[in-house]
Amino acid sequence: MSLEPMALDALHRKRNAKWSTFAPDVLGMGIAEMDYHLAPPIRARLASLLADERTGYPMRGPVGLMADVSDSFTRRMARVFGWRADPAGNVLCVDLLQAISACLAAFSDPGDGVLIQTPCYPAFLIALDQGRRVLHDVPLLDTPTGFRADPDPGASLARRGLSPRILLLCQPHNPTGRVFSRDELAPYMRLAEARDMVIVSDEIHADLVFAPARHQPLAQMFPEAAERIVTLYSATKSFNTPGLRCGMIHFGAPALLERFRARVPECLLGLPSTGAMEATLAAWEECDDWLAALMHRLDTQRHRLTDTLRAADPRLRCHLPESTYFLWLDARDAGLPGGPARFLLERAKLGVNDGAAFGPGWDGFVRFNFATTPALFDDLCARLTRALTESS
């Protein structure tokens, strides 16, 4: 199954945030979605849904569409990652940001701290802010071979007198593209146990991992801690359906789900639409070939973007991402006028994410989304090279 690029005028007609945030002459290379046509099985499902006018309420209960998605999640975790996720722990939601906010409400109180490795997905900080929770950040460490988890998060927190109630992990990691090893995460798991913290593991990028790196769900990596782990996953990132809205929350033990239910009414999670659930089923059951083609394209582009940036200005620093379609660039030494995000917007007509949104102390960095078509990717590299070589 091949990956079909979308033409630029079709992208502009999508009326999505990625292609509507900036002026038409700007390439939107920030917001996390991709510039390819949907996988044919997803398109076919959505077309047949419309043909049959299936716009009624989906069935709830053990024989309905929601149960199908739940079963499909459990099957996929076993088939792809070798993890046995008990279906009794599965709860559908509309999106993962909702799931994160719900977990904050369920497992902490206003004013409580949440441990997050920074830089982090900016919406984590929005969820904290809206929920009146406090960021207890433990920054990743930049090493010659890539970003690494701080090996002693307890000391980092103790120096500041911080005692978080929740650990919110992102694995694989947005924005650095790291896939953390078991050894790196072990100190965080020990800390969570010592302080009786709930761990929310956002694994939305689990399908987007480049070999030889390999994703292992946290609850599988640390089965002894499963009773405190909430795993979040969805098809929306890997299969480019983020506007449809469907996500999965998996609770590692009945008691954890019980605590969640006691604080979060079921109605607050809403109900994913029929289309979102059908698209999720098609993605998880019928799109392996499409995903392989996607990873092949992203692999080529992660190498080329890294090489292009390094060649354009040796003061720019970046690591080859092990996962995701993001590249995290350290431009602090390049002295780009106005900061890198503004410089790239004004001089290269490229819309990227400003590092300042990814946590305190990350200004001077930017995040690129390189999941675009071959033609637009060539254009991205040409614009970068032109603007950066002119300024260096």
Ligand X SMILES: Cc1ncc(COP(=O)(O)O)c(C=O)c1O
Q: Which residues contact ligand X by CB under 6 A?
A: 32, 95-97, 121, 170, 174, 202, 204, 234, 236-237, 242, 247
Q: How many CA atoms lie within 13 A of 107 on its CB side?
A: 28
Q: Which residues contact 258 (CB under 8 A, 6 or more apart)?
A: none
CA distance 33 to 18: 7
Which lies closer to ligand X via its Cβ, residue 31 or residue 356? 31
Q: How far is the CB of 117 from ligand X (least distance, A)?
A: 12
Query: For residue 186, which of 150, 144, 232, 135 has the smallest C-alpha distance?
Result: 150
Q: How far is the CB of 137 from ligand X (least distance, A)?
A: 16
In single-letter form, the type of residue at position 339 comes to G
Which lies closer to ligand X via its Cβ, residue 243 or residue 338? 243
Q: How far is the CB of 235 from ligand X (least distance, A)?
A: 10
Q: How far is the CB of 200 from ligand X (least distance, A)?
A: 10
Which lies closer to ligand X via its Cβ, residue 204 or residue 387? 204
Which lies closer to ligand X via its Cβ, residue 277 or residue 316? 277
Q: How far is the CB of 247 from ligand X (least distance, A)?
A: 5
Which lies closer to ligand X via its Cβ, residue 32 or residue 229? 32
Q: Which residues contact 286 (CB under 8 A, 6 or more apart)?
A: 39, 41
CA distances (Å), origin 116, targets 22, 102, 171, 281:
30, 17, 12, 31
Q: How far is the CB of 344 from ligand X (least distance, A)?
A: 20
CA distance 18 to 27: 9
Which lies closer to ligand X via its Cβ, residue 236 or residue 308? 236
CA distance 91 to 83: 17
